[in-house]
Chains A and B, each alone.
Chain A
């Protein structure tokens, strides 16, 4: 019964093999769940007749460092202040539910 709590994460069907190897979506777009046609940044604040285009260099610049550690997001960490959240992963430890107990 405990295990069902963890599967509340929405799991939308993704064909990872296809998304990675046969689309030109950026890695970020793939993870956001964008479809091939509607990719790209929304430029709702820009009028059609604006002559000068602001260059959107989202993925450029030094804000995207070549680093292996994820930036600790405050929102993600905040989730873990919640008692229910802490309890929800108990089944991932040897002492929590199921066959449980010590030993391998």
Chain B
């Protein structure tokens, strides 16, 4: 059948599932860690498939006996009020990132409660999703009622956190035309420390300020306090930072506690990572390239433009996968002669949310 798209390997698992569900095309993924000592899907991948089953209606997922191959026949994206317990092998960010790509196209607005780890070193933390990822969705006209509430924090390894994600539905996303990165006008940040000395937050903030104070006066780093049951089951602390420009371009970075590393050093790490990110330039930071590019593809039938830095390896594969599912390819040219920043443009597919209840 022509609508079946085939991939091999466990890499880029999430984006392929998302693209399949959005495009309605069946996807088969095989050779999932088939050479590994412990072959097949990991618990978090199975959990993600279960979550996607909950968010949709009529989706058929077949997993081979060995777990090294799956077939997904997407149904409609239904949304509604749902909850899901995430395994402790990945944080809630792993699950939210693909869900955010689907949520605006639900039949009814999504209210999703996720329980598990809220901040870890692999995925966007709940803080960055709230303060950086969601504003990126707003660029495309998904805004009223868009919210992420961090009810309880959960540090690895035991987690115990809880977040609630609320997303409105849209008929169509707007075309993006974002080519002026502007200049950084403010820096914001949140430090949290759970089940450790609460002073750790302030120590991270002070260390971060020791670098940032030189640049601009508008810096507000606050210490987010969670107590008792709200602070989860394990000790941990982290600093999440974002830099916002005059044109509302946002760059972000964070660092989380590691055994034997002082809070000051975590604060410095986060700050230096932020500066590295700012230095890459562009209107969208590296962590949000795929989200923005996806929404550009789904935008109305017009040319969308966005200026960004060089694509990450994930982004390159994403661009190729988008072409497999939607047939859309981007034009990628230097933003100015000699510039390392690039201008990504594509013609939107005019994707219409057909799931939306007619009202």
Contacts and interface: CB of A to CB of B under 8 A. Distances in A.
Interface of A: 6-7, 9, 11, 16-17, 20-21, 26-28, 30-31, 55, 57, 59-62, 64-70, 72, 76-77, 79-81, 86, 89-96, 104
Contacts of A11: 338-340
Contacts of B329: 17, 21
A89 B11 contact: no
A96 B211 CA distance: 15
Contacts of B14: 66
B281 A92 contact: yes
Given A31-B313, A59-B11, A94-B185, A69 B214 contact: no
Contacts of B331: 17
B330 A17 contact: yes
B216 A93 contact: yes
Contact of A60 (B13, B35, B94, B276): B35
Contacts of A76: 272-273, 276
Residue of B184, B276, B323 with most chain A CB atoms under a 10 A cut-off: B276
A15 to B, nearest CB: 9
B222 interface: no
B184 A86 contact: no
Contact of B183 (A31, A57, A70, A94): A94
Nearest to A25: B316
B60 interface: no
A93 B215 contact: yes
User: Chain B interface secondary structure, helix, strand, loop or mixed?
Assistant: mixed
Contacts, number: 123
A11 B336 CA distance: 12
B241 interface: no
12 contacts: A17-B329, A30-B316, A62-B33, A67-B123, A68-B124, A68-B290, A69-B254, A70-B312, A77-B269, A89-B278, A92-B278, A96-B183
Given A16-B332, A69-B122, A27 B316 contact: yes
B287 interface: yes
A57 B211 CA distance: 41
A48 to B, nearest CB: 25
A46 B185 CA distance: 54
A95 B215 contact: yes
A70 B286 contact: yes
B62 interface: no
Interface in B269-285: 269, 271-273, 275-276, 278-279, 281
Given A7-B338, A31-B313, A69 B184 contact: no
B246 interface: yes
B111 interface: no
A6 B279 contact: yes
B320 interface: yes
